[in-house]
Amino acid sequence: MRKEKGIVFAGIDVGSTTTKTVVMDGNTHTVLYSDYRRHQADQIKSVQDILWKLQGKFPKHQIYLSMTGSGAKILADAVGVPYIQEVVANSVALREKYDNVNTAIELGGQDAKIIFFRENESTHQLETSDMRMNGSCAGGTGAFLDEIASVLSMPVEKLNEAAAHGTCVYDLSLIHI
């Protein structure tokens, strides 16, 4: 009798400075493996190393792989796996994990992303209402947050809590100095 292969879902995020990997059990969705590494500007080698590692760690599994990140589109096409744009991937993951989220901000090595959510009035399901990603390098975004915290005389760890008490959203791309 032939034993069925187990199924795992693997995602590789190829960013501007790092490659992140996560593997989840296909049935329980529990994380079986994760990895975070700087790729030293060699995204191809980083992905090759990860693919070999996954093959070694999960030899008896059917691996369903997809890729995301600023450096992943060409690599995903070359490997023949699905590519999902990273802001879209983040929005899907957040809606799956959280019942009540309004805004998510991610500061990456190359860019900053913001996602706004709302409850659909007829289905009451959480849906994405808007997504933004800056068009130029976001280098220094972490330093920007540190500076804003300093100006506000608060620890950077308290910025999220302070933002939760906000009453409006300002579109900084429309502000001209």
pLDDT band at 96 (very low <50, low <70, confident <90, very high): confident
pLDDT of 122 reads 94
Distance (Å, rounded) from C-alpha 135 to C-alpha 41?
21
Q: What are the φ/ψ torsions at residue 86 (nearest 5 degrees)?
A: -65, -35
Distance (Å, rounded) from C-alpha 41 to C-alpha 63?
26
pLDDT band at 141 (very low <50, low <70, confident <90, very high): low
Sheet holding 31-38, edge to edge: 31-38, 18-25, 6-14, 61-68
Distance (Å, rounded) from C-alpha 85 to C-alpha 108?
14
85-97 mean pLDDT:
89
pLDDT of 174 reads 46
